[in-house]
Chains A and B, each alone.
Chain A
Amino acid sequence: MSQYGTTRGPPPGKNNIDYHTTLFRRLSWEGTVPLEIRVDPNELPANSDRGLACYFIQAPRVSYMPLLVPEIRRFLMDVVFDETAAKTLKEEDWWFEVDDGTLLKWHWPIGLIYDNHTILTTVRPGPSLAATSANPLRLILHLASPPNDKLLLSPTADACKLAFMGQLKEADFIRWGNTKRMTGLRKADQDGLWEGIKEHNFDDYWRVASKVTPTMTSNRPQSPGPPPSSVSMHGRPPSADTVGPPERDGAYNVRSVPVRLYLPDGPVIQDLVPPLLEDGTPHTLSHFLTTHTPLLFPAQPPAPPPSRSNPNPRPPAQPELAYPLVQGILTPLESEMAWLGACLAGADGWVNVCVGIARK
């Protein structure tokens, strides 16, 4: 559309991503969470420096635990472990637990691990992490005897990459009913997605990801009208911008948005989430939550009929039972699912909606 083509540099085209989309993608990408990693004191090798056996890190939300292990290992080797004792340690035996005894999923993005734990603290006695900002997620690092049957995946970066690619393909299939966009990428590009995560390089990742992620510049059903013609600096008449064919990769043209809904202490709910409802209006977060968890997000009762004394009645106020977090952010219920899918999805393509429970 002309306002993007003329003010943001690149010419209009399929890969022309508007300013706000890039902004939210950048904000999601740069999001970090505080982690406190403590080695299980019972497993510290002999002669370790026990006073220092704790490592703090501000980890990218889009990263994965196996990608942090080399950095944690370097710290422990340099500062904590005795050199001879450390030689007996094998990295493939390392595994993590949250300090309440929950096993850490190797293949979940770190931001999701953090948010999923945050909503758990909203139902447990004690302070809710959602209310206290910047509280680290306390993790225990075990150095031996991994419970492999429960960890589901081997803790290597390679296994994590395979799982990540699997998630991207599943998201692709959810959106379009096939995985042609993902399988159509060259091997170098597919690897580039993972490299982008590994190196935490936004541009490298999005250079490839923009080929498989829906765009937000499409014919959004309730999009604002065309800009005043004075904004259009190039020669085309403004009408040429508004009657183009529907954009093939538009966020509102997908079959379904890849979304998972997490409740405190489980379960995880996944279902088809079409971007538009049957009446053609956008599928909002409010509609999504009311459909799948009506006991936590009851449908709004209708407003009373207007009267002379109250010409614009509002529906009766309801107590808030729960609230949604996406990328750790309290998300407005009127957010459109298609927009969330294009702008606030994780690097694996999935929108993770974590539901916290309100405290009185």
Chain B
Amino acid sequence: MTIPAFGSTTTSTRDAMDADTSDVGASKPWPAPDISPEAVAALDTYKKRDPSKVVVRFKAVGNAPIMKQNFYKITASNRFQAVIQFLRKELGWKANDPLFTYINLAFSPAPDDTVSNLFKSFCTDGHLIVNYSTTAAWG
């Protein structure tokens, strides 16, 4: 099975995801002169975005329309918000159309959680299962 890369269907999705520079702090200069170079180097290392990809599996709940393709690869450093935006685009949802997303039929993650963090904690059989619904299901 070939799994399309997340955002490969439309260029605009790709753009939206590249613009997702999550949580970049303000542009004030750093570091302070009196912190050790080891600490500065460590922070730089941890700030590098994880380029690896994980597989997201979409599953419709209730009356939500089923997607033709259920498995997508997504860059792990993306925020969950990017998954929601991608899903809306794939479903052709307008800005105000209701869409609720859940992990493992259990809870809605915060939109600023990263896919990587969610995958580490909740992956099932190598996938992150994202359920979507047009009505609040486990809210």
Contacts and interface: CB of A to CB of B under 8 A. Distances in A.
B43 A174 contact: no
Interface in A124-159: 124-126, 128, 152-153
Most central of A167, A256, A264 by chain B CB within 10 Å: A264
Nearest to B112: A152
Size bracket, chain A contacts: 35 or more
A100 B27 CA distance: 8
B121 A358 contact: no
A123 interface: yes
Interface in A345-360: 357-360
Contact of A126 (B32, B36, B108, B118): B32
A321 B39 contact: yes
Contact of A123 (B23, B32, B117, B118): B32
Interface in A170-192: 170, 172-174, 178-179, 183
B1 interface: no
Contacts, number: 133
A266 B117 contact: no
B34 interface: yes
Given A123-B32, A295-B41, A321-B36, A162 B106 contact: no
A172 B104 CA distance: 13
Interface residues of B, number: 43
Contact of A319 (B36, B45, B118): B36
Contacts of A321: 36, 38-39, 42
Interface of B is mostly: loop
Contacts of B40: 123
A124 B42 contact: no
Interface stretch (A4-12, A85-93, A101-109): A101-109
B25 A120 contact: yes
Given A123-B32, A267-B46, A102 B25 contact: yes
B29 A125 contact: yes
17 contacts: A98-B26, A100-B25, A123-B30, A123-B32, A123-B40, A152-B111, A162-B139, A166-B108, A263-B47, A265-B25, A267-B114, A269-B46, A321-B36, A321-B39, A358-B36, A359-B32, A359-B34
Interface of B: 22-36, 38-43, 45-47, 81, 103-104, 106-114, 117-118, 120-122, 138-139
Given A107-B110, A295-B41, A296-B43, 8 more contacts: A166-B110, A169-B107, A170-B103, A265-B30, A268-B113, A269-B46, A295-B42, A359-B34
